[in-house]
Amino acid sequence: MCGSFCTHERVLQALEELTHIYDTVIPIVSDLSAVTDTRFGTAKELLERLEALTGQTVIRSIPEAEPIGPKGLLDVLVIAPATGNTIAKLAAGITDTTVTMAAKAHLRNGRPVVLALASNDGLSAGAKNIGELLVRRHYYFVPFGQDNALAKPSSLVAHFELLPETVDAALQGRQLQPVLQ
């Protein structure tokens, strides 16, 4: 889980569904999500809820995320919500956060990364980064669209309820369609 705190509740609902489908779900949070209290909830509440839902300790530092690759810990990595900042870092190959380290470590095994976008600049400054990842091997997007075209014309958000279907498709090596909804 990255920032985009306003989407955390929807992501947690999708995560709960994933825990009913898959035996093991390992939560990973961005550096900011691990420590930031917002009007949407406290960091402590988020971490406790993630651990209660998954029964796993939350990975919340680069040293904790690095062994994901060498140990082959994951079949699929889901980044939800995937903020514009994280998308940009992935597109540029920057590994300076817990989430980007998890992605780098996981990708070394040639396994899928599912991105559930939540970005206020997805149709402006962030569009090139989304485009870069759309054409890269091993990246799969949860279908997304504009969340409020009139008030926030550049904002894009994933249809988080499609996360389980997207994970299933990614594990089969295919992008769930249509991507734009």
Amino acid 27: pLDDT: 98
Q: Which CATH architecture fits 5-171?
A: 3-Layer(aba) Sandwich (3.40)
Encoded amino acid at 18, one letter: L
Task: Report pLDDT for 91.
Answer: 98
- The pLDDT of residue 79 is 98
Helix (H, G, I), strand (E, B) or coil at 119: strand
The predicted structure's pLDDT at residue 132: 98
pLDDT for 33:
95
The pLDDT > 90 percentage for the chain reads 99
Per-residue pLDDT tens digits for 31-78: 999 999 999 999 999 999 999 999 999 999 999 999 999 999 999 999
Query: Average pLDDT, whole number, for the chain?
Result: 97
pTM of the full predicted structure?
Answer: 0.96
Q: Where are the beta strands (DSSP E) in 3-158?
A: 77-83, 113-119, 139-141, 144-146, 156-158
Peptide bond into 63 cis (omega under 30): no
The per-residue pLDDT for range 132-173, each reduced to its tens digit, is: 999 999 999 999 999 899 999 999 999 999 999 999 999 999
β-pair type (156-158, 113-119): antiparallel
What pLDDT is stored for residue 149 in this prediction?
Answer: 92
User: pLDDT tens digits for 104-132?
Assistant: 999 999 999 999 999 999 999 999 999 99
